[in-house]
Structure 1
Amino acid sequence: MIKLWFKSGNPWIWLNAAAVSACLIMVLGVMGLIFVRGIGHFWPGELVQFSYQEDSGQVRDIVGELIDTSITPAAMAKATGYAMADDEDVLVQYQVKTGNRDISGADFRWIQARRVKQQSNPPELIAVERREWGNFYGRLVAVKDGGKVVGEGAEAMPVLQERLKAALDIFEKISHLEKKKIGAVNYSLERLRLEQRRLELEKRWDAEAQQRIAAEKSTLDAEYKKLQAQLVSLYRDIRKGSFVAAADDGSEHEIALAKVVRIYQPNKMNVFGKIGHYLTKFVEFLTDDPREANTEGGIFPAIYGTILMVVIMSIIVTPFGVIAAVYLREYAKQGFMTRLIRIAVNNLAGVPSVVYGVFGLGFFVYILGGKIDRLFYPEAAPAPMFGTPGLMWASITLALLTLPVVIVSTEEGLARIPKSIREGSLALGATKFETLWHTVLPMASPAMMTGLILAVARAAGEVAPLMLVGVVKLAPSLPLDGNFPFLHMERKFMHLGFHIYDVGFQSPNVEAARPLVYATSLLLVVVIVGLNLSAIVIRNHLREKYRALEG
């Protein structure tokens, strides 16, 4: 019976079903973990005040967010050095985000539940999100303006929120001046310097050129001085505001409003207040620049860089992939060489992505980029323009990496089109190119679009090759801006996949960065899943559109 059962093939069917089920469970488990941890990152946690007995026997207050709870068996706790009583079965510990890193030197602390004498949620506790040194937790004492107290007691919080709003408005103006206006002036000055150097190399640096460059530089210098004066005035205004807050150890600290992003009292918030806070933080996550070594703030440059790179890659890979597939299926003589090319294309799809990165760095960056610099940008030497990793080389490298996917998908789509359709078109007097353009390619478009979007989905999640050909931890400026020629293909850029790697494994404060890793991973997974679902929808739509012709 067992031999007959194995010969029937049923065991292998059940084995495959079990393997697929196990894979689905693991994938769904990982997705669930990322979703729960990522979606909860922006929810304002309540602040807890613990009366805690230290090792010395002294009882002190510890204020912070309760992040995690650890339960350790007594035997294991004793093995790690904890003194356990005979009636204690487990050691319960709380991980508390205490903040105040500039005071205590750490953002997080583990405390033992058995040493907690009292636990409460005082409504007056404040959480301060700062631009550096992480969060501050404590109690508001007073609000100052130019060194003078302008709010104390119950009036302090409304006054503080009003002055913080004014300080944030000033900070936005400062950012706009520094990044946009002054950045544009500096960019124009650099272009003038390069133009002068080019004229000198070409022996065309005459009196007329000197006069023209000097006039333009004088205009830019005057504009720069005007903007610098505005900047100095704004910095003077934003430095006036500050507030005094008491930490959990009772010490008072004065914090400048210029270094504050947000101040709130989570223990006083109702559900609607927390939802509003959540939405505000989520929008900030999508639209702001990162800060605090990428562990705080938003990821807009990474989103922008990922989308821009994928768009450029798609523009490059689509025509090459489709043309290669059309040639192999419609024009090339089917023989040994054609089969060899198909084998090579299939093998390229299995090459590790980091190998493409090494190839891109060696060939595209050092060889092609170096020659482009010597031929077209000699004035930039010794600083390279295209002889260094950048957006263009990253896009071309990923286009090369995803090219086999587009070729194979397009060729399979062409192979499914009945030969009778081609013969009918030719019989009606159409040329081979007209048949291909008006009949065959439209019918193969579902496979073409599927291959393209699957290639986009893969490129959006790649990290290893990008580390070598253009991605950086923090890009000072976006590759696409308002300065001519607007799209700067030579610039380095940020990427969601590399951002996850950097924050998760290279961050100096891993515990603080962990929630951001989950949130960014969730966003990247949503993007990739959305692209794959789009592939299915587009494929089905085009398949229904051309079903009549296939019949």
Structure 2
Amino acid sequence: MHDIAKSRYGVPGARISNSQLGESKVWLSALGLALGILMVTGLLLLILIQGLVVFWPREVVQVTLRTSEGKTETTAGEIRKVQHRKDVGKGGKEVEEWLLFTGNKDVTGNGFRYLDVQNISEQTKPADLIIAERMEYGDAIFRAVSLKLSDGTVVPNDDARLLAELDRLVGEANKRRKEITKIEKGKIGKINTQLAKLDLEEKELKAESSRTEERLGHIAQKRTALQSEYQKLAAEAQALRKQQQENVLTYRTPEGTEKNQNVGDIVSYYRPNALGFGGKIGWFIHGIWDFIWSEPREANTEGGIFPAIFGTFVMTILMSALVTPLGVVAAIYLREYAKQGMLVQCVRISVNNLAGVPSIVFGVFGLGFFVYFLGASIDQLFFSSSLPTPTFGTGGILWASFTLALLTLPVVIVATEEALVAVPRGVREAGLACGASKWQMIQRVVLPSALPGILTGVILSMARGAGEVAPLMLVGVVKLAPSLPLDLTAPFIHAERKFMHLGFHIYDLGFQSPDSEAAKPMVFATTLLLITLVVVMNVAAIRIRTKLRKKYAASTF
């Protein structure tokens, strides 16, 4: 072997020692690690840049195009992408194209347009162009023509009051929109819940042979009072909606089309070409804030993702609360009580193999066992009056948390076993020598010393569970959830409700969205937020683990 190495290097008498060969392998390992770190860093930087650039206000370019008939047309929009392609009709010559976000989907039918740069005869950046975020049809790009107020006053575009009045009216419209949401989702939602309970109570009374007309009459009185309150609130919400339509903005698109827009349907607006750096920073922060705290609109391509953030956080915490005690108890039994032998070895092999089972298999198991069997049994025992409408016999955040707890259980068991093994034998013997029973020794000596290692397993399970999507699609996650699984309505925690999840939100935007170009920026922004949420939860768990490690310095794990 040494002669072969010598002949390859061409140096007579040279020999390559084992240490030199080992050193080259070390460098190859270091190279592999460096490449891995570089790829992960590059991916994170790509997500960070693409996720944050979504909220940065872009300037709007107005261009004049030459058409094939020798005429000209005008359009305007944000340059979202610049690409080059070979034009077969021009002999394979490379042509530069712009992907322009033109907005005004309700006018043109499409919010994006590809432009051949060679057909542009003129381009400018007018300061009077406005971008308005609307409740429907996405953003609009236009010039204001006039503003008609509720009292019939018309403010023309050349009046300095127009933008000031528009600012005031948009602010008032946003306040009314919040009040409408508060009435419809809050107050009316509570009334609907109470009416549903009364319907169930009446159904149960009618099924009993010992029913009394007095109790049925009492239910009827309650229903009448609730319906009366419902009508008042509905009328109040309707009056607010009518006010949303009283002020009308007339605008003209860059293509020359005039259109009327209810000010009540405008969420916000700004003039991108008139913004300075400070103004852009302000709108950047405003965009991030709205994205985090508002609800999605327009098939999830507009608005925010607060329900998805909340659902992901609650499900991950609930999953961790379920998997931690189960995994710790299983590991304690396997390591401390079970007689080590072939059977325990088979159990350990099975647990390790469970970590490699595809996640969709756990989803099918959760659907069959938790939803169809366990959930349906709970409905038969405790919610029979609600049938055939299922309560727990359908997907919900509870069954999703149980399914992911099973998915991440092997991680917690293996990490806990390793942490228990790492506790020094002398510490155990000292506890037993002091007269403690085996359980007392485990409870008061071994477990505290192994807590940092146990938390390592919990952290890994949280990271995996928060990013899973496939099983959730079968056991409770939905495209849009009308209500949060945790709110101020008794019993406060609604484990039977369906929920939104950041991972599924990314899948829905990337593969199910009707407008793929509009969804791309949202995909990166949502991905960045999911990574941030996982990192925040992991950092919090790591800080707890660090404090415990310092407290129980006897642990060697």
How would you bin the TM-score normalised by the shorter chain?
Answer: over 0.9
In the alignment, residue 105 of structure 1 is paired with which amino acid? G
Q: Contact conserved, 1:295 with 1:516, CA < 8 A, in 2?
A: yes
Helix, strand or coil for the counterpart of 1:527? helix
- Please report how far the alpha carbon of residue 258 of structure 1 lies from its aligned counterpart in structure 2 after TM superposition: 2.1
- Tell me how far apart the structure 2 counterparts of residues 531 and 176 of structure 1 sit (CA, whole Å): 30
Helix, strand or coil for the counterpart of 2:97? strand
1:170-207 Cα offsets, whole Å, 9 max, x none, are: 11111111110111111111111122222333445321
Of 240, 245, 259, 2:246 maps to: 240
In the alignment, residue 132 of structure 1 is paired with which amino acid? E
Paired residue for 2:60?
Answer: 47
- Please report how far the alpha carbon of residue 536 of structure 1 lies from its aligned counterpart in structure 2 after TM superposition: 4.2
- Please report how far the alpha carbon of residue 544 of structure 1 lies from its aligned counterpart in structure 2 after TM superposition: 3.0
- Please report how far the alpha carbon of residue 57 of structure 1 lies from its aligned counterpart in structure 2 after TM superposition: 2.3
Q: Paired residues, what number?
A: 542
In the alignment, residue 82 of structure 2 is paired with which amino acid? T
Paired residue for 2:380?
Answer: 374
Residue 256 (structure 2) pairs with residue 230 (structure 1): no
1:87-141 Cα offsets, whole Å, 9 max, x none, are: xx53111111001111111111110111111111100000011111111111000
Of 111, 124, 137, 1:120 maps to: 124
Paired residue for 1:83?
Answer: 90
- Tell me how far apart the structure 1 counterparts of residues 363 and 31 of structure 2 sit (CA, whole Å): 37
The structure-2 alpha-carbon separation of the partners of 1:184 and 1:535, relative to structure 1 and needing over 3 Å to count, comes to closer
- Tell me how far apart the structure 2 counterparts of residues 121 and 249 of structure 1 sit (CA, whole Å): 15
Q: Contact conserved, 1:196 with 1:205, CA < 8 A, in 2?
A: no
Q: Which stretch of the first structure deviates more once superposed, 350-359 or 531-540?
A: 531-540
1:337-357 Cα offsets, whole Å, 9 max, x none, are: 111111111111111111100
- Tell me how far apart the structure 2 counterparts of residues 56 and 466 of structure 1 sit (CA, whole Å): 54
- Tell me how far apart the structure 1 counterparts of residues 23 and 372 of structure 2 sit (CA, whole Å): 56
In the alignment, residue 87 of structure 2 is paired with which amino acid? A
Paired residue for 1:215?
Answer: 221
- Please report how far the alpha carbon of residue 18 of structure 1 lies from its aligned counterpart in structure 2 after TM superposition: 2.9
Of 508, 514, 524, 2:520 maps to: 514
- Tell me how far apart the structure 2 counterparts of residues 179 and 334 of structure 1 sit (CA, whole Å): 58
Helix, strand or coil for the counterpart of 1:293? coil
- Please report how far the alpha carbon of residue 65 of structure 1 lies from its aligned counterpart in structure 2 after TM superposition: 0.7
Paired residue for 1:301?
Answer: 307
- Please report how far the alpha carbon of residue 148 of structure 1 lies from its aligned counterpart in structure 2 after TM superposition: 2.9
Helix, strand or coil for the counterpart of 1:356? helix
Residue 115 (structure 2) pairs with residue 105 (structure 1): no
Of 315, 334, 340, 1:334 maps to: 340
- Tell me how far apart the structure 2 counterparts of residues 5 and 56 of structure 1 sit (CA, whole Å): 76
Q: Contact conserved, 2:397 with 2:476, CA < 8 A, in 1?
A: yes
TM-score of the two chains, using structure 1 as the length reference: 0.95
- Please report how far the alpha carbon of residue 147 of structure 1 lies from its aligned counterpart in structure 2 after TM superposition: 8.0
Paired residue for 1:198?
Answer: 204
Paired residue for 1:505?
Answer: 511
1:381-429 Cα offsets, whole Å, 9 max, x none, are: 1111111111110010011111111111111000001111111111111
TM-score of the two chains, using structure 2 as the length reference: 0.94
Of 20, 24, 33, 2:46 maps to: 33
Paired residue for 2:422?
Answer: 416
- Please report how far the alpha carbon of residue 535 of structure 1 lies from its aligned counterpart in structure 2 after TM superposition: 4.6
Paired residue for 1:131?
Answer: 135
Paired residue for 1:439?
Answer: 445
Helix, strand or coil for the counterpart of 2:87? helix
Q: Which stretch of the first structure deviates more once superposed, 202-211 or 178-187?
A: 202-211
- Please report how far the alpha carbon of residue 149 of structure 1 lies from its aligned counterpart in structure 2 after TM superposition: 4.2
In the alignment, residue 422 of structure 2 is paired with which amino acid? R
Q: Contact conserved, 1:122 with 1:267, CA < 8 A, in 2?
A: yes
The structure-2 alpha-carbon separation of the partners of 1:404 and 1:282, relative to structure 1 and needing over 3 Å to count, comes to same
Q: Contact conserved, 1:454 with 1:535, CA < 8 A, in 2?
A: no
- Please report how far the alpha carbon of residue 21 of structure 1 lies from its aligned counterpart in structure 2 after TM superposition: 2.4
Paired residue for 2:167?
Answer: 161
Matched ranges for 1:489-500 at <5 A = 489-500=495-506
The structure-2 alpha-carbon separation of the partners of 1:6 and 1:337, relative to structure 1 and needing over 3 Å to count, comes to farther
In the alignment, residue 33 of structure 1 is paired with which amino acid? L
Paired residue for 2:8?
Answer: none
In the alignment, residue 121 of structure 1 is paired with which amino acid? K
- Tell me how far apart the structure 1 counterparts of residues 354 and 504 of structure 2 sit (CA, whole Å): 23
- Please report how far the alpha carbon of residue 12 of structure 1 lies from its aligned counterpart in structure 2 after TM superposition: 3.7
Paired residue for 1:362?
Answer: 368
Of 474, 482, 490, 1:476 maps to: 482
Helix, strand or coil for the counterpart of 1:138? strand
Paired residue for 1:188?
Answer: 194
- Please report how far the alpha carbon of residue 56 of structure 1 lies from its aligned counterpart in structure 2 after TM superposition: 2.6
Helix, strand or coil for the counterpart of 1:41? helix
- Tell me how far apart the structure 2 counterparts of residues 219 and 157 of structure 1 sit (CA, whole Å): 46
The structure-2 alpha-carbon separation of the partners of 1:115 and 1:5, relative to structure 1 and needing over 3 Å to count, comes to farther
Residue 98 (structure 2) pairs with residue 94 (structure 1): yes
The structure-2 alpha-carbon separation of the partners of 1:174 and 1:535, relative to structure 1 and needing over 3 Å to count, comes to closer
- Please report how far the alpha carbon of residue 214 of structure 1 lies from its aligned counterpart in structure 2 after TM superposition: 1.1
- Tell me how far apart the structure 2 counterparts of residues 267 and 105 of structure 1 sit (CA, whole Å): 25
- Please report how far the alpha carbon of residue 533 of structure 1 lies from its aligned counterpart in structure 2 after TM superposition: 4.0
Q: Contact conserved, 1:63 with 1:248, CA < 8 A, in 2?
A: yes
- Tell me how far apart the structure 2 counterparts of residues 27 and 392 of structure 1 sit (CA, whole Å): 33
